[in-house]
């Protein structure tokens, strides 16, 4: 399955979020993950923030994994825009990749009427879909 992962999934994974760690593992082992240069830039900027500086080296490793294991796409601007314009790069990446799923911890920022045909799932919902192929997360 083709999918895109929001920055908050990576941040939660490096901050010892068990659910998001499982999402990354399943995503990279069993699915085709897409990214854009805009996503890479946002990940780097996010992990460089003072409150996340402690996770910067782990974040950089995940960025390297994404670039080696993922598939890059070039995105186009979105119309109409999302409630949080900062999230548009994720939906634009999903649309450019013809991805079926976008995984994010911010479901409210991706209203279904603006994201079709991409299915937007929380990390936990993503795991529920693919639980049979991965040990349950408590």
pLDDT at position 81 is: 84
pLDDT at position 16 is: 82
Q: Does domain 2-133 have CATH number 3.40.50.1010?
A: yes
The strand pairing partners of 3, in sequence order, are 33, 101
Please write the tens of the pLDDT for every residue from 82-127: 999 999 999 999 999 999 999 999 999 999 999 999 999 999 999 9
pLDDT at position 133 is: 54
DSSP-derived secondary structure for 46-88:
HHTSGGGGGGHHHHHHHHHHHHHHSEE------SSPPSSGGGH
Is residue 62 within 8 A of residue 40, CB to CB? The reply is no
Domain locations in the chain as residue ranges: 2-133
Do you find a cis peptide bond into 123, omega within 30 degrees of 0? no
Residue 94 sits at φ, ψ, to 5 deg, of: -60, -45
pLDDT at position 72 is: 98
Please write the tens of the pLDDT for every residue from 36-77: 999 999 999 999 999 998 898 999 999 999 999 999 999 998
pLDDT at position 79 is: 78
Tell me if the pTM is above 0.85: yes
Distance CA(32)–CA(137), nearest Å, equals: 22
pLDDT at position 136 is: 52
Instruction: Read off the tokens for 17.
Output: 């979020």
pLDDT at position 95 is: 96
Is residue 15 within 8 A of residue 55, CB to CB? The reply is yes
């Amino acid at each position: 399955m083709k999918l895109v992962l929001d920055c908050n999934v990576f941040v939660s994974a490096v901050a010892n979020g068990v659910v998001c760690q499982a999402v990354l593992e399943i995503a990279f082992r069993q699915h085709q993950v897409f990214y854009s240069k805009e996503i890479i830039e946002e990940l780097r900027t996010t992990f460089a923030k003072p409150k996340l500086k402690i996770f910067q080296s782990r974040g950089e490793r995940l960025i390297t994994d994404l670039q080696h294991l993922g598939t890059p796409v070039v995105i186009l601007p979105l119309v109409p825009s999302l409630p949080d314009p900062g999230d548009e790069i994720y939906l634009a990446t999903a649309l450019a990749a013809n991805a079926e799923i976008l995984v994010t911890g911010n479901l409210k920022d991706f209203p279904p009427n603006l994201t079709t045909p991409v299915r937007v799932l929380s990390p936990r919902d993503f795991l529920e879909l693919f639980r049979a192929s991965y040990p349950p997360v408590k």
